[in-house]
Amino acid sequence: MDREQKAALVEEIAAQLGDAGAIFAVDYRGIGVPEAAELRAKLAEADATFRIVKNRLAKRAAESAGTKELEPLFEGPTALTLVGGDPVTAAKAIADFAREHRAPTYKGGIMDGVALDPEEFKRIARLPGLDALQNQLVGVVSSPISGVARGLGQMLAGLASQLGQIQDQGLVQGESGDEQKAEAEGEPESESDEETSEKESEDE
């Protein structure tokens, strides 16, 4: 494979990494061609693909795709499961296949931008489906930082709402004050006009 072919392959893998909703890296030792075909067929049900990669090229692709969390996983025989559908279905397919064939071995991965270690992967593989995953994902894989970020976002939204209300009230009061000032300034002018009219009548 020449340099141009390698560059094209890196670009292709990077695009797949960027498009995947979840990425599971596994050690595929112990899987033959028939077993790999069987696993690919099961993963296809979750709109997922099973791809054996060369570690050096995969590292370059991960850096290009902004998924540097995967780089430490590219040691030894490595295959990537790139999930475009339900990650729970894909995780269950890998876990069930591994129990039956004692391979592949899960290394690590990413789901929804969050790193997924082997223990978390096992928990996800036990979930019944995507709906349950969404309800339980926070307690399984979310970090405290994400919780703080959400809390700060809610606080800022509340503060913005309160400031908006205060501003609206200030504008209303300002308009009312201007109207009163205009009325007060208008009254003396009216009296002045009346005095002028009376004086003209006396002169006549």
Decide: helix, strand or coil at residue 80: strand
- Rounded Cα gap, residues 197 and 195, in angstroms: 5
Please tell me the predicted confidence (pLDDT) of residue 48: 96
What are 96's two structure tokens?
């069930």
Please tell me the predicted confidence (pLDDT) of residue 176: 44
72: cis peptide before it, omega within 30°? no
Strands of 78-83's sheet, edge to edge?
Answer: 48-53, 78-83, 22-27, 105-111, 114-116
Which stretches in the chain have pLDDT values below 70? 129-204
Helices (H), the chain: 3-19, 33-44, 55-65, 87-101, 118-126, 130-141, 144-203
Decide: helix, strand or coil at residue 49: strand
pLDDT tens figures, 22-51: 999 999 999 999 999 999 999 998 899 999
C-alpha distances out from residue 140 to 2, 112, 120, Å: 43, 13, 7
What are 11's two structure tokens?
């670009």
Please tell me the predicted confidence (pLDDT) of residue 52: 94
Please tell me the predicted confidence (pLDDT) of residue 128: 74
CA atoms within 13 Å, Cβ hemisphere of 59: 8
Total-model pTM: 0.62
- One-letter amino acid identity for 69? E
